[in-house]
Each structure stands twice: as structure tokens, then as C-alpha cells.
A and B are shown apart, each in its own frame.
Chain A
Amino acid sequence: MTCSRGLALVFVVVLMMSMNLAAQEVSTLTSSDRKAGTYLKVGLAQWQGNIFSKNSLTNWDIDLFGTNFELRSVKLSVESYFREPLVQLSGLSVGYRKDNLHRSESGHMMSLGFFRDIDVKVFAVKTSAGVEWGMPSFSFDQTELRSGSEGIVRYRHAYIYRNTDVPFVGTNTDGVVYPFIEVSVLQRPWGLLFEMGMRVGFPRFNLDDYEVSPLDTVGYALNQKRVMVPYMFAEFGVRIF
């Protein structure tokens, strides 16, 4: 089994465990036992994929990680655990993620999410959902030139669909906003926090095929689809409140 398949399996197992635990109403800590607090977290994230391949992000497959797409990120977030669950929620998180450290003009994403954590003694399982907003990494924009015969030019442009404004950048719609879900396991010993898991974003991608004839007649096939874009992360936090 390849490493990528192993990681995919871990994700599925963790997801199922989380759903199962929630269904069994595993006893969450009582309000008096529950460790409330606000943590400042830093973390690293790793993305891989291949927008164009069959097993790519745009053609979702159990093999989450393809071959030629790689992105590393750093994360900074503030996460607050409520003293008592609020509408079944255990807390909320506000974060910033810098994707691709080699470039500063893109890959700036803010996120807001709510989570529910379930204590399973050794560690807690946490499921989250929310939205990400910002200027996505250039790594999501790719153009693949296809072979053309007799002067025909063909290419496919795949890129994240920009659907919102980001102040001070470009024109009206240079940013993205999309939902995400997240599954992780964590430990909160003393005033520290250790967490690792997977977040899956659901942005829309445009997949545009162009064919230009020698006489400059342009043919199009313009498509859009929502794509699951996963990444693995590990985070360390310190309690600040």
C-alpha cells in the first residue's frame, strides 16, 4: 500500500470513528470537568494533488493524493473552547493560513469555523466546519498545453473560481470564499494543545478548454465543478486565556 493510500485510509477511519462516536453519544465531559480555554495555535500543513490527472482533485478518488501537486503552508489560529456546549458546539476557531511560503502575493487565507470535540479518554476527536476566505495560492492555477496539429492550438486552463473581493488586490473578484470541514485528533495536557488532522475545502474550479484554429476561430468548453481539496496538518498550541 502506498503512503498516499495509507493516509487516505487513516482519514476515512478517523472520519468514521468520529461519526460513530457521535452517534453513540459518548459521554462528553460535564461542564465542570470540561477544560475551557482559548489557545493560540501554530501549525504546518501539507497538500498534494494533481489537478489534471484522473486521480486528481477535480475527479475525486479515494486516492486523495496524486503525484505532481505539492504545497506547504503555515497556520496561525486562535481557538476557544466553551465551558459548556453551545447549540451542540464545543467552540470556535479563527485562523490565518499562508500557503506556499515562497510567494507573498498569494496564498493568504482566513478561516472561521465551529467545532465539536468528543473525549475518548486518550485523546479527543474534533470535527469542524466553517468557511475560508482570501487570496488562494497560485498553485491552483494551471495551464496545460495540448498537442495541436496543423497549426491548431489547444490548452486547458484549470483554476480556482474567484467569487469574492479581497481589498487592495486586483479588481472586483480576485478572492475566494468556500466551505470546509475538518477532522482531527487532539490532546490538551496542561496549558498546551497538540492536534493533527485533515481539512477538506470545497472551492469551485473552472476547467476551461480552448482550441484555436489557424484562422483564429476559437472553440471553448467552459466547465465548473466543486472540488474537494484536502490537506493534512499538525498544530501546536498554548493556552492564552
Chain B
Amino acid sequence: MPQKIADRLLSAMSFIVLSVCMACDGGQLTPVGPTESAIGDDRLIDQVRLQWSPYLGVHVTAEALDTYRDALSTLRSKGQLRGVRVELNPNLSPNDQAIRTIRSTGVELLALMSNEYLFVDNIEREFDEVFADYPEIRYFQIGNEVTTILPVDGPTIDIAGYMAIFRRVYDHVQDRHKGRVVLLTQSPLGSGSRGARELQAMVDHGLLELDPNQVVIGINSYDLDSAAQYLGLLGGALRKYRVWVTESGIRDPKLHISWVQENYPRLRNLLRAERIYWYTLWGGDVGSDTEFGLIKQPGNYPNYWRSPLFSVLTAER
């Protein structure tokens, strides 16, 4: 008799658990690709533009100058671009053609100071030069995914080391450039639970000692699972700090539109993200970042490939 009861109980619970699991979608997004007529669909255009955040990551490369100028100017002229995130490394000249092209479009720049800067001896002096070379740039992000994207054969850094350097830069900025420069923390890896643990470690290593008026929290987020990991921190210890999502998007142009429609509002709701930077304008024509790009084949200027999302953002109304 007890065995019979146990069997009934087990069957009932298995059925219910199975039903719940089937009803859920595994936490993954279920975006739907755009139709061919997306560009002519005024309602869709309005919906996408309503959710879109006018910020974008741009790789600094001389391979796409004309196309960059055209694409950025077009987005800007449609009111769909206010700022771009570009990576500055110690070897990049402020007169570099690509950076000059991007600067010439008049968009606001968020300078991602490459991870290489974390290992220079006199980072204060290096940053003084950068601040002087780029007087129009106000926002500087100190590193990106610092524990995960540095090559294993080079120098690496942990969060304690990173926060020591971030603190040096912060103190220097407060001393010499207060009111001129706002710093962003490194954005941890944008998937899984590692990012939230890193941000917690940054809190443990003194992040809360820094003025929320002078520091913005950077987060990369490529899925809601990773975003959900930050909720306790952002609603608790980091409640007073601003949050920018510095990378987001999906590696499939057919799903770009639905990503913006569905996930931009979710990222705002969960992370109170003031800005969301799309990754990326052009991810190269080969490689793992290609399908994130809003454009491809910049060598074919002016007939370069435009993603459905780019087309919707720049469509005539």
C-alpha cells in the first residue's frame, strides 16, 4: 500500500514537473525573425525605434572608412544614433584615419581604454595624454572583460588587481580632471553568472568607496540569464550607481529586430540601464562577430550590406 501511494505521488509530480518544464522555454529568448516587408511596416518601425537605444559599438579599423562615415551619418540623421563606444589602445594615434572618421560624424564617444593600459607603468601619465588627445570625450571605460579576454600567454589580472588600478585612475581623475571625465568600470563577461560574481568582487574591493556621480557601472549582457544575476547587487549595494549596458545583441541578423523589441525593454526593466550599446556596427566579414554586425562588406561601398535592423532604423517615414 505505501508503495502504491508513493508510485501515485511520483507519477503525479513527474507529470506536473514535466508540464511546467515544457511550458517554460529554458530561459532562452524566443525571437522571431523579421518578415521581408519589415522595412515597409510602419508599426514595426515605430516599435523598434521606441525600444532602440541610440548607442553602438564600433571597431576602430581603417578597412571601412567610407562605409563607417555613411552608416554612422545615416543613423545619426534619422535620430537613431547619439553615441558610439570605441576602443583606444596605447598604439592608436588620435590622428588615426578610422578614429578621425568616427569623430567627424559628431557622435558622442565612450572610450573603452583597452586592457593593455592596465599593465603600463605610469597609467596616470598615459591617461593624461589620452585626455589631452581627445578633449571631446567625457566617458572613459577602464578595461573590458578583464579576466576573460586577455591572452593566456600575456599578462593577466584578477579583480583585486583590477580594482587597485581602477582606484588609481579614479583618484587621479578626482585630483586632476574632476568634472571633465566620468569613468566606467570594466564590463564583466556578458553571459553566465561570472559577471555578477565579478561585480560583487569589485564591491568587495572598494567600489562603494567611489562617488556614484563619478562612476558608471558597465555591464555586458547577451542573455537575460546573465542579467538576472545582477539584480540583488544593483538593488542593494549598487543602488546609487548608474548602469550602462556596454555590449548587447545577438549573433544572427534575422533576429536583431526581435532582440531589440523584446530584450532592450527587459534590460532596462531589470538593470535600469540608461544606455544599451549594440554590439557592433561591423564585426568583420569573417569570424565570430560577423553576424552581430549591422553592416557587412564595407568594401562594397556604397552598396554595402545592411542588416534588417539597420534598414528599419534608417527607413524613410
Q: Are A103 and B224 in contact (CB under 8 A)?
A: yes
- Chain B, Cβ-Cβ closest to A174: B232
Q: Is B231 an interface residue (CB 8 A)?
A: yes
Q: Are A138 and B213 in contact (CB under 8 A)?
A: no
Output the least CB separation between B169 and chain A (Å).
17
Which of the residues A74, A161, A206, A215 comes within 8 Å of B23, measured between beta carbons?
Answer: A74
A23 to B182: give the CA distance in the assembly, Å.
64
Q: Are A240 and B9 in contact (CB under 8 A)?
A: yes
Which of the residues A102, A105, A172 comes within 8 Å of B232, measured between beta carbons?
Answer: A172
A-B contact count (CB 8 A): 113
- Chain A, Cβ-Cβ closest to B199: A171
- Chain A, Cβ-Cβ closest to B16: A76
Q: Are A170 and B272 in contact (CB under 8 A)?
A: no
A241 to B12: give the CA distance in the assembly, Å.
14
- Chain B, Cβ-Cβ closest to A159: B235
Which of A6-14, A84-92, A139-147, A177-185 binds B? A139-147
Output the least CB separation between A216 and chain B (Å).
5
- Size class of the contact patch on chain A: 35 or more
Q: Are B225 and A170 in contact (CB under 8 A)?
A: no
Which A141-187 residues have C-beta < 8 A from chain B?
141-143, 145, 153, 155, 157, 159, 161-162, 169-175
Output the least CB separation between A153 and chain B (Å).
6
Q: Is B5 an interface residue (CB 8 A)?
A: yes
Which of the residues B19, B23, B212, B269 comes within 8 Å of A143, measured between beta carbons?
Answer: B269
B268 proximity list for chain A (CB < 8 A):
143, 145
Q: Is A222 an interface residue (CB 8 A)?
A: yes
Residues of B within 8 A of A (CB): 5, 8-9, 12-13, 16, 19-21, 23-27, 30, 138, 179, 182, 193, 196-197, 199-200, 212-214, 224-225, 228-233, 235-236, 239-240, 242, 266, 268-270, 272-274
Residues of A within 8 A of B (CB): 40, 42, 74, 76, 98, 101-106, 138, 141-143, 145, 153, 155, 157, 159, 161-162, 169-175, 206, 208, 210, 212, 215-218, 220, 222, 238, 240-241
8 more contacts with CB within 8 A, not counting A101-B23, A143-B272, A143-B273, are A40-B12, A102-B23, A104-B21, A141-B269, A141-B270, A143-B268, A171-B232, A240-B12
